[in-house]
Amino acid sequence: MNAPPGPRIRDAVARVFIVAHRENTARLEAELARQGLAVSILRQEHDATTRAFSPNLRCLLNHAAGWEIAARSEGLSLFVEADFAPCRDFGNLPLPFDPARHGDAAWAYVYAGGPRVYAREASGHLLAHACSTVAYVMPPRVARMGLAYLADLRIRHPDWRRYHAFDTELQWYLMGYGARAYVPWRQLGEHGGRPNPEHFGTGMGAGRLRRLLARAGVGLNHYADALAGPLAFSPDYAAGGRLRLLRVRAEGRVTGLLRLLLGKTINPITPLTRRERLSLAWHCLRRLLG
């Protein structure tokens, strides 16, 4: 099954922000520019206070610097973290939503880590929750909601030296303001980085099953469950090795199938009939196996 209709990324996205710390972004920047996208790099200078913050929350501040620009600019802004690896011919791939159809409160993950699908529209577009800010598209209105989230988090979580899973929580907050997040039919890129040690014991790695799998070297990171096509370049986790790349891609696909089998992929926010749930599961299976 093909992806639902939508404008091409190069036609719909006005600007791209690469959210980086100290990483070398030259390869990613060159690939996105080659796709006809206007690219800027976001690197924050930290003082003695912010240097003591959790790395995850320093990352949030970097995203928020881009939200401030996006909130006062016209058109869509694409945010990608420095370890994002786009699919080949990224600029010609369709957005996971259509701004003309879905309005100014719609936004989308370009890469959706651990997607939890809660609806499929008649057009085929998928509404879901995801737990990653590796790559996503926002219009100005949703960027302003992101800034409201930042202000709220400063009150609820005053000690920024302690880890907080903002990337998992963000979408639920935006939904409270009426935002709707779409996910791609197949991922338009990959989380190409190495595991974040902050996640384990605090966030995504806290479950007993995750810990057991981690001891076996499985599930140390989140990867794309199904890609729209080959990657434009070898991601960092592959360390230049073809076998490592194939193993991780297989892990991503198998993890996606297991999540669907164990009931982790379908996560309705309103009651579904048995028929509706089975239909949604069938479409999610076709998405993974296609």
CA gap 81, 191 in Å, rounded: 9
Classify residue 220: in a domain, yes or no: yes
Classify residue 128: in a domain, yes or no: yes
The string of pLDDT tens digits covering residues 5-39 is 889 999 999 999 999 999 999 999 999 999 999 99
DSSP state of 3: P
Do residues 122 and 223 touch, judged by C-beta distance below 8 A? no
Amino acid (one-letter) located at 10: R
CA gap 246, 167 in Å, rounded: 27
Q: CATH number of the domain that 11 lies in?
A: 3.90.550
Classify residue 1: in a domain, yes or no: no
Residue 198: pLDDT over 80: no
* Domain count of the fold of the chain: 1
Question: Which residues does residue 76 pair with via DSSP β-bridges, in sequence order?
Answer: 13
CA gap 167, 197 in Å, rounded: 15
The tokens describing 233, both together, are: 């370049």
Largest CA-CA distance found in the chain, in angstroms, rounded: 56
Instruction: Give the start-end residues of each E strand in the chain.
Output: 13-20, 39-43, 76-81, 84-86, 106-111, 116-120, 126-129, 135-138, 180-183, 189-191
Residue 21 has a CB neighbour count (10 Å cut-off) of: 14
CA gap 95, 86 in Å, rounded: 13
Regarding pTM above 0.85, the answer is: yes
In a 10 Å sphere around its CB, with 0-12 CB exposed, 13-18 middle and 19+ buried, how is residue 111 labelled?
A: buried
Classify residue 21: in a domain, yes or no: yes
Classify residue 27: in a domain, yes or no: yes
Classify residue 2: in a domain, yes or no: no
Q: Which residues, at least 6 apart from 150, have a Cβ–Cβ distance to it below 8 Å?
A: 60, 64, 67
Amino acid (one-letter) located at 110: V
The string of pLDDT tens digits covering residues 199-236 is 544 444 445 555 555 555 555 567 999 999 999 999 99
Amino acid (one-letter) located at 64: A
Q: What is the pLDDT of residue 213?
A: 53
The parent domain of residue 32 ranges over 7-290
- The CA-based angle 175-19-253, given to 5 degrees, is 70
Q: Residue 35: CA atoms inside 13 Å, Cβ hemisphere, count?
A: 26
The string of pLDDT tens digits covering residues 100-113 is 999 999 999 999 98
The string of pLDDT tens digits covering residues 86-95 is 999 999 999 9
